[in-house]
């Protein structure tokens, strides 16, 4: 497990509207393509590796599992906002996030 790679993946998605759209359209395929990107011969490898539980959590858009796996709360929240903002209103998303991650520990205050 690599908290660094969890964060790296979340940032790669949330920093690009194109990546958000591709991830939302087919999370599993996006995860596979992102992981395969490190194997391109024209780029230096950055050793992109996700454990099976991490890969599964991203492929199923399971943010509670990502939180439990140690995803950084700040990066996770921005990832969730990017991925779900077109599906769920902001206030509802905050409440869903709190309910999903509360069993795994302290939930930082989100106004």
**Distance between CA atoms of 3 and 5, rounded to whole angstroms?**
5
Looking at residue 96, its pLDDT comes to: 87
Give pLDDT tens digits for 57-70: 999 999 999 999 98
pLDDT classification of 110: cutoffs 50, 70, 90 = low
Give pLDDT tens digits for 15-43: 999 999 999 999 999 999 998 886 566 66
Q: What is the model's pTM?
A: 0.82
Give residue limits of the domains in the chain.
Answer: 3-104
Looking at residue 42, its pLDDT comes to: 62
* Nearest 10 degrees: Cα torsion 79, 80, 82, 86: 170
- Residue 103's SS3 state is helix
**Distance between CA atoms of 34 and 83, rounded to whole angstroms?**
16
Mean pLDDT of the chain: 86
Looking at residue 41, its pLDDT comes to: 60
Look at the block and give the residue holding tokens 């858009």: 61
CB 106 within 8 A of CB 67: no
For the segment 79-97, the average pLDDT, to the nearest whole number, is 88
Looking at residue 78, its pLDDT comes to: 92
- Would you say residue 55 has pLDDT above 70? yes
Continuous H helices in the chain:
3-14, 17-25, 27-37, 52-59, 63-68, 73-84, 90-101
């Amino acid at each position: 497990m690599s908290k660094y790679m969890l964060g790296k993946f979340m940032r790669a998605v949330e920093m690009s509207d194109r990546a958000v759209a591709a991830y939302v359209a087919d999370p599993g395929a996006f995860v596979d393509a992102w992981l395969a990107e490190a194997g391109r011969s024209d780029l230096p490898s950055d050793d992109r590796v996700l454990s099976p539980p991490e890969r599964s959590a991203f492929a199923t858009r399971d943010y509670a599992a990502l939180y439990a796996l140690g995803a950084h709360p700040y990066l996770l929240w921005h990832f969730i906002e990017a991925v779900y903002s077109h599906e769920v209103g902001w206030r509802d998303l905050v409440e869903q996030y709190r309910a999903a991650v509360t069993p795994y520990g302290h939930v930082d205050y989100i106004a």
